[in-house]
Structure formats: C-alpha cells, structure tokens
C-alpha cells in the first residue's frame, strides 16, 4: 500500500517536472522568436534612424540604406503646376528624371511631349533649351512653368558624354553602353561647326539663360550639380533638397525625408550597377554573335577611355568662359560654388596637344 502511494507521488512529480520543463522550453522559443523579429525590425529601420540623425549633412557610404519599396511612377490624377527640369546635353538628364520620379512617385515628361502625357500631369518636364529648340515653342510653353530644377555638369565631362551618345547612335549601339575611341572624340572635338568651341559657347548660353531667367525669383529655381547628385556623401543630401523643392508644388508629396537616401541609392547607384551588368552581358552576346557570323558588325567591344584629351588652348577657353560666368553671377553663392569647383577641375587637368 505504501509502495503504491509512493509510486503515485513519484509519477505526479515526474509529470509536474515535465510540465515545468515544457513551459520553460516554450518560453525560450517564444523569447528567441521575439528577439529575432526585433532584430529584423531593427535591421529594416537602421537606415531610417541613421539618415534621420544625419539629415542635415552627408550620409556615410558604409551606413546601410535600408529597404524602401518604390512604387511605379504614375501620372498625377489632378493637374499640377509644371516645373522645368533643365540641363545641358550630357548632364545626366535621364538619371535626374528617374530620381525625381522615385522621390515623388509621379512621372516626368519632356518639352516635346513625346509620350503624349501633356505638361500638367507630370512632376517635371525635361528641356535642354536654349541649346535645343522646343517643338511646341519654348516661350509658348514657358508661361505654364513658374519654377525650374537646373542641373549643371562640368562641360569638360558633359561634352564628351554627349559625344558618346552621338557615337552610340551612329553605330547602332545601346544608350550608355560604349565610349567612343579617342580618335573619333578628337575629330568631334576639333570640328569647327559643332565641336568643342561650339559646345562651350552653348554651355555659356545655357547657364546665362537660366540664371538670368530666375535672377529676381531665386526661390523658384533649384540649382544642383551632376557631380553632387552622384557623390556618395552629397548625393542623398542633394536629393533631399530636390524633394523639398518639388514638394512645394501643390499636389506633389515626396517621400519622407528619412527614406530619401535609400531612394537615391536605389536609383543612382543600384541602377548604375545593374546597367553595367546588363551591358557586360550584351557585350558578351554581341561578341559571340560576331565570332559565329564573322559579319564585321559595327559594334564597339571596347569600354572606351573615361578621360578625354584637351589641348592647352581648349582648357584656357573653358577657364575664360567660367570666369565670365562668375563675374556675371557673383551674387549667387550656389552658382559660384559649382563653377569654382569646375575651375579647380579644369585647372588641374594636363593638356594633350595634337
């Protein structure tokens, strides 16, 4: 009888102990799961917290940018007051309007209205005026556009970039895939009708036109440089300035400021890497096609030189143009800063004569 009682008590103790162990194990599982979920949440919000802390100035490239799903840009459901997006040819206008669409969620257009969107359902309208004419007449359209985002790029780099585009088109190459060889660049550069000297005059006209257009309404123009937009430190900050400016238009609601560095990284840096990978893949395919067909297809398989040669006279011509612009618009601190950086870059470039 006593043995039976002892056995029952022992069995109850064992059951109780098992139950306690089961509860502790379940608690540990729940606790570990919660910690893992908290860590995932922390990882996702790291970029937001860091970019908020660094909102006023640069973002360190080692900091994670986080995840910011970007919606497909759409036409505005209601009319907007349109804004010009003006740039000299070869100054990254495509990159700029992709970035602007990412920042605002609204599609962009161009002065030709080539997509048939019209001008009041897009957030900005791309133009190269006065370098290139506008099909519908610039002054006929300009009354609709009280504001502008103007993107400058050092013409020492913008002119070769535009040359590369012309070279790709004339050789039936994909856009942004190939840099033309230096011998072709030199022919273009030294052409008396549309080469370097002609483009330098056009750059001066472009900068003068847009600076004079808004000299009495500086709040209606945002001046940014291409160099700042692609810079790892200045790019996110410049994008925030751009979003703030566009957000002043009624009906435009940009991304929250803490998500803008992530959007900048996805558009400016991620797309650069993706495009490079696609171009490498296309190059390999073209090489295989050429080797198989041996048909002498007109494709350049070279990446091409990144820096283009200029003569001493051409570098001096650029510097003279910059100094004329500085004298004319010395009161605009942003413009002076941008042009001064171009003077520094050109001054440090060694000439290559011949």
- Condensed to tens digits (0 to 9), the pLDDT of residues 142-170 reads 999 999 999 999 999 999 999 999 999 99
- Cis before residue 130, ω within 30 degrees of 0? yes
Query: What is the DSSP track for 314-334?
Result: HHHHHHHHHHHHHHHTTT-HH
Sign of the Cα pseudo-torsion (334, 63, 99, 101, in order): negative
Residues 296/172, Cβ–Cβ less than 8 Å: no
Site of tokens 């080692």: 62
Check residue 280 and give its pLDDT.
Answer: 60
Q: What is the mean pLDDT of residues 297-321?
A: 76
Range with lowest mean pLDDT among 133-137, 161-165, 243-247: 133-137
Q: What is the mean pLDDT of residues 33-59?
A: 32
Q: State the DSSP code for 173.
A: P
Q: Where are the alpha helices (DSSP H) in the chain?
A: 2-53, 93-104, 138-142, 155-170, 182-189, 196-213, 226-230, 234-246, 260-264, 271-293, 312-328, 333-347
First-residue to last-residue Cα distance in the chain? 116
Cβ(106)–Cβ(123) below 8 Å = yes
Q: Average per-residue pLDDT in the chain?
A: 79
Distance CA 175, CA 169 (A): 8
Min mean pLDDT across 36-50, 85-99, 214-228, 266-280 is at 36-50
Bridge partners, residue 127, by sequence: 86
* Rounded distance between C-alpha atoms, residue 225 and residue 337, angstroms: 10
Residue 5 tokens read as 């009682």
Mean pLDDT of 209-224: 96
83 forms bridges with which residues in the sheet? 147
Closest listed residue to residue 318, CA positions, set 149, 103, 113, 157: 157
At residue 192 the predicted structure's pLDDT band, cuts being 50, 70 and 90, is: confident
Pick from 190-194, 281-285, 325-329 the range whose average pLDDT is largest: 325-329
User: What local confidence, expressed as pLDDT, does residue 272 receive?
Assistant: 56
Specify the pLDDT at position 45. 32
Q: Of the given ranges (24-38, 47-61, 64-78, 136-150), which has the lowest mean pLDDT?
A: 47-61
Q: For position 278, what pLDDT does the model report?
A: 62
């Amino acid at each position: 009888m006593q043995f039976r009682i002892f056995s029952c008590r022992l069995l109850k103790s064992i059951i109780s102990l098992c139950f306690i162990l089961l509860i502790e194990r379940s608690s540990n599982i729940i606790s570990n799961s919660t910690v893992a979920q908290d860590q995932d949440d922390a990882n996702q919000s790291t970029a937001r917290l860091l970019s908020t802390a660094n909102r006023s100035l640069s973002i360190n490239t080692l900091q994670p940018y986080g995840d910011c799903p970007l919606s497909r840009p759409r036409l505005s459901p209601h009319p907007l007051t349109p804004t010009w997006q003006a740039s000299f040819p070869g100054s990254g206008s495509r990159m700029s309007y992709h970035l602007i669409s990412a920042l605002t969620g609204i599609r962009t257009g161009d002065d030709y209205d080539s997509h048939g969107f019209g001008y009041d359902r897009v957030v900005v309208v791309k133009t190269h005026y006065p370098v290139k004419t506008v099909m519908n007449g610039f002054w006929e359209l300009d009354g609709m556009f009280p504001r502008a985002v103007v993107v400058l790029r050092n013409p020492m780099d913008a002119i070769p970039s535009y040359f590369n585009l012309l070279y790709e088109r004339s050789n039936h190459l994909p856009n942004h895939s190939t840099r033309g060889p230096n011998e072709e660049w030199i022919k273009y550069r030294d052409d008396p009708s549309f080469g370097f000297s002609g483009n330098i005059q056009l750059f001066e006209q472009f900068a003068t036109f847009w600076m004079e257009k808004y000299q009495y309404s500086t709040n209606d123009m945002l001046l940014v440089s291409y160099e700042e937009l692609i810079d790892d430190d200045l790019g996110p900050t410049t994008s925030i300035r751009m979003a703030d400016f566009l957000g002043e238009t009624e009906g435009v609601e940009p991304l929250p400021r803490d998500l803008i560095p992530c959007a900048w990284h996805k558009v400016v840096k991620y797309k650069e890497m993706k495009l490079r990978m696609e171009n490498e893949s296309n190059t390999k395919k073209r090489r295989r096609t050429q080797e198989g067909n041996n048909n002498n297809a007109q494709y350049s398989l070279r990446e091409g030189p990144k820096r283009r040669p200029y003569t001493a006279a051409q570098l001096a011509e650029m510097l003279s143009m910059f100094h004329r612009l500085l004298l004319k618009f010395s009161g605009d601190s942003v413009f002076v800063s941008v042009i001064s950086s171009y003077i520094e870059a050109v001054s440090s470039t060694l000439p290559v004569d011949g």
